[in-house]
Structure 1
Amino acid sequence: MSEKNHERKRTARERLAAEREKQKAAEKRRRALIVGASVVCVLGLAAVIGLAAANAGKDKGSKASGPATAPSGAQGKDGLAIPVGKDGAKSTLIVWEDFRCPACKAFETAYRPTLHELADSGRLRIEYHLVRLIDGNLGGTGSLRAGNAAACAQDAGKFRDFHDVLYDNQPEETNDAFGDNAKLIELAGKVGGLDTAAFRACVDKGTHDGWVDKSNAAFKSSGFTGTPTVLLNGKNIYQDQSMTPAKLKQLVQQADKG
């Protein structure tokens, strides 16, 4: 074999090896996307802690007042959980979330079809706990206002549909668009039968503001460090770096059979 041909084959092998490494890295990034997304809001906390301190007291509307009025059907300790699915399901998924949190949206985007399927089949009961981590990090009231509106939707029996609409229309993390009640009422129009006088009054009055704040306080005292925090039958599934919607479904199915 000539030196020229040998060099050509060696170069081709090197290119092939480099391409394989590139593909491996891309696949690794893809697998880590959902799990890695869970720390986005935690990293945001570290990045903006100085900003939050500097802005302390500037946003006088950022703290809710009034009684912690739980929405209809709320369950769990202190009535802080909004349940979706059948009470008799053998598996329970607890989700702590913030409607302004981009990592929460990433989780929703990847897992929503599976969660809907498992809940609708009676195999999984989901407990949603609403917090306002981003309000505390970046200022504003979008997390609070959206949480209150979602609780108002729960009063109307439309929580899951409105919950999904909020994530489908989530603004940029630094954009406090959800702090505008009119925007939330506009989005309610995407859910059949939700935009009623009762819903609008609940949103505008902040009927469940105190409840959202109470849930947020429970989150802070729990020792959890970021949203979303997702627990399957008491185990934080984000500690499993190999977790996928398919694996979650398998775990739930196994528990259902057991």
Structure 2
Amino acid sequence: MGVRKVGRVGASVAAVVLLGAVVSACGDSDDGGGLFDEAKESPSASRSASASPEADASPEPADVPAAKVPPASVNDLDGVPAKVDGGVITVGEPSAKITVKVYEDPRCPYCKKFEEGGAQALVPELASGDVKVEYTIASFLDNNFGGSGSKNAANALRAAVDTGRYPQFHAALFANQPEESEDGFTPAFLVKIGEAAGIKDAKFTDAVTKGAYRSWVTTAMSAFTKDGVSGTPTVEIDGEKAPADALYSEKEFAALLKKAGA
């Protein structure tokens, strides 16, 4: 989990970024194409998640980069349960008194900044059972910048649930996030990230390589769209939207959790 404040809005490839503009999130766009067939078939899916895996999947690089291990803090989440409910991945005890909803796109640099900053305050609360986190994984940045990295990463996040190491993989994913404009989340690199997160499961490798959860990626994007979210990261604590400037500070986000009763 992890974050700080920089980067740029996720606009279309042709968008002009105004010099000196201050932004704090990656924004959705109606431009471009995407990866999976199911997105074309689903009328409720955002245009941010459409296209064909055979046609648009990024070629594997000749040399797959080494993956960094996730932050040590994520080790405190060993044994914390994760489950899938529709297009949402829930981490934490079902009986947790506080629910945090997190909307992220794996390619969004501001999501990385949240995971490195404010989200660090979630670790002890998840470990204690006081908080559960509901992740809705979007993939619209593939439209904005081209390629299929967000969808590949979303597919891998879903596959990680089955390994029992979703929190570790989620943390490792953002620790290894390529530049937003680079389509770097290839299946081969995601397998490497899984290894860095302690996943040594042939089923995970197979699911990541073959896009086994491509239909779920579309379901997740549909959930994102249905909830009316237009930018990432968007975070809600018991239904109340957290202010953007608190997302990038562990101390400030911890104060929000404490105010909610953590």
- Asked if these proteins are the same fold (TM beyond 0.5), I'd say yes
Match of 1:159 among 166, 170, 173: 166
Percent of matched pairs sharing the same residue: 32
Q: CA deviation at 1:177?
A: 1.1
Q: By how many angstroms is 1:165 displaced? A: 0.5
Aligned residue for 2:96, secondary structure, equals coil
Q: After the TM superposition, which residues 234-249 of structure 1 pair with which residues of structure 2 at under 5 Å, given as runs?
A: 234-238=239-243, 241=245, 244-249=249-254
SS at match of 1:106: helix
Give the structure 2 partner of residue 187 of structure 1. 193
Higher-helix-fraction structure:
1
Q: How far 1:48 sits from its partner (Å)?
A: 4.0
Q: In 1, are the aligned partners of 2:169 and 2:197 still within 8 Å (CA)?
A: yes
Indicate the residue corresponding to 2:74 in structure 1. none
Contact 2:92-2:129 at 8 Å conserved across structures: yes
Query: Counterpart of 2:11 in 1: which secondary structure?
Result: helix
For residues 109 and 246 of structure 2, what CA distance do their matches in structure 1 show?
21
Aligned equivalent of 2:66: none
1:208 — aligned with what? 213
SS of corresponding position for 2:100: strand
Once the two structures are superposed, residues 201-246 of structure 1 have per-residue CA deviations (whole angstroms, 9 ceiling, x without a partner) of: 111221111111121122223322211111111111026x456433
CA distance in 1, matches of 2:246, 2:208: 39
Q: Any stretches of 5+ residues in structure 2 without a counterpart?
A: 17-27, 43-81
Residues 46 and 183 (structure 1 numbering): CA distance in 2 closer, same or farther, change over 3 Å? closer
Counterpart of 2:49? none
Q: Do the aligned partners of 1:123 and 1:253 also contact (CA within 8 Å) in 2?
A: no
CA contact (8 A) 2:87 2:222 kept: no
Letter paired with 1:74: V
Q: Matches of 1:144 and 1:112 in 2, distance apart?
A: 22
Matching of residues 87-106 of structure 1 within 5 Å: 87-106=94-113
User: Would you say the 8 A contact 1:84–1:127 is kept in 2?
Assistant: yes
Cα deviations across residues 126-177 of structure 1 (Å, max 9, x unaligned)?
1111110211211110000011011111111111100111100100011101
Q: 1:111 aligns with which of 101, 106, 118?
A: 118
1:44 to 10, 26, 34: 10
Q: Counterpart of 1:16?
A: none
Q: List structure 1 runs of 4+ shifted beyond 6 angstroms.
A: none
Larger Rg: 1
Q: Does 1:86 align with 2:96?
A: no
How many residues align? The count is: 208
